[in-house]
Amino acid sequence: MNITEGLEIYAVGGAVRDRLLGLPVTERDWVVVGSAPEEMIARGFQPVGKDFPVFLHPDTHEEYALARTEQKVAPGYHGFTFQADASVTLEEDLQRRDLTVNAIAETADGQLIDPWGGQADLAARRLRHVSPAFREDPVRILRLARFAARFANQDFHVADETLALCQRMVAEHEADALVPERVWQEMAKALMTSRPDVFIKILKDSHLLPVILPALDVGADQLALIGAALREAAALNGTLAVRFAVLLHRVDADIAKLSDQLRAPRHCRDLAVLVHQHYREYHRLASQSAEAVINLLVALDAYRRPERLADFTCACQAIFRAQGSEASASADSQALQQALAITQDISVQSLIDRGLRGPEIARAIHTERINRFQQRRSR
């Protein structure tokens, strides 16, 4: 039995938007109109929604949500009640969505239902809110900024009226209800786009940046340098940890504390701290003593974690490429990798055979690394 047979089902959201833009569709979401939770369960769908009825298809594992409306009853993005029953229409469900480009539905035979002008906004490359209800959920400012970053290379822009609405939301303290976990979720996705700098710009323009990340509320010149470095990090296909470190490299703050406040994962926090502390040393490697270079490798824990060295050098390359030092940044990366390669295979057994023990071994290894690197430099 086809468990969807007889249901009024529409494809919605990102799948429709991306298909219309000619982009790959990686996952699909569906809205079911005129049904109820009991019917969905009886048909074999698996309920997964906590706040409103969402179900997984047992075979495709795609999400099917009952059409719903929502009503603001308390401050913050948790302050909603939902209605999801057979009386809710498709148009009502689409009206509660954030942006018009995400509020287009499609029937099984390809017919588009677009009551809020999403196709026109796609053509105009415009990100515009569907209705004044946008202001009821402050997470939508973050999502707006993320979509602006994701589609920046396709010349999308934020509608003036939507940006003005975001500014009013911040001014009226609606954004104060944002919690770090949600901020990080959206930030992490935005940093992994091709234009993470646009995410920061929209947060700045919407006045949200000083609310969620006051340490980044810096002058225009500083923010431009950070933005340029973020673009380079994306061009280098940097990891999330690399891009996060680049974001914070010029911030005058306790990076570990700031990262923890944002609920950043530990590997992102640790790299951000190291880049903040040492990126200037990276750009002076040619003039650094052999001991200073080895000390940097030790500080990075590169002998035990070479992948961290790769991330560190990627972040530093992005930073200095943004400042017009692309050639020297690449040379510095090669020099640091070479220093690691020629100093990492020291025999501990030979030191033990010489009668060294405990801390003496560690000191001897460090000295040998310095000597090896100095000899290579001399040649």
Q: What ranges do the domains of the chain cover?
A: 1-117
pLDDT given at position 347? 78
The helix/strand/coil state of 192 is coil
What's the DSSP call for residue 102? G
pTM score: 0.89
- Of 81, 43, 85, which Cα lies nearest the Cα of 65? 85
User: Looking at domain 1-117, does it have CATH number 3.90.660.10?
Assistant: no
Residue 139 has pLDDT above 70, yes or no: yes
How confident is residue 377, by pLDDT bands cut at 50, 70 and 90?
confident
157 pairs with which residues across the strands?
A: 126
pLDDT given at position 201? 97
Highest mean pLDDT, choosing among 10-14, 24-28, 76-80: 10-14
How do residues 212-227 score in pLDDT, each as one tens digit? Answer: 999 998 889 999 999 9
pLDDT given at position 346? 78
Which helix (H) or strand (E) is 8 found in, with range?
Answer: strand 8-12
Q: At what angle do helices 180-191 and 139-150 cross, to 10 degrees?
A: 10
pLDDT given at position 76? 54
The mean pLDDT value for 222-240 works out to 97
Cα gap 133→153, rounded to integer Å: 28
How confident is residue 73, by pLDDT bands cut at 50, 70 and 90?
low
Q: Please give the distance of CA 275 from its chain centroid, rounded to a whole number.
A: 18
The mean pLDDT value for 78-104 works out to 87
Counting residues of the chain whose pLDDT is more than 90, the rounded percentage is 72
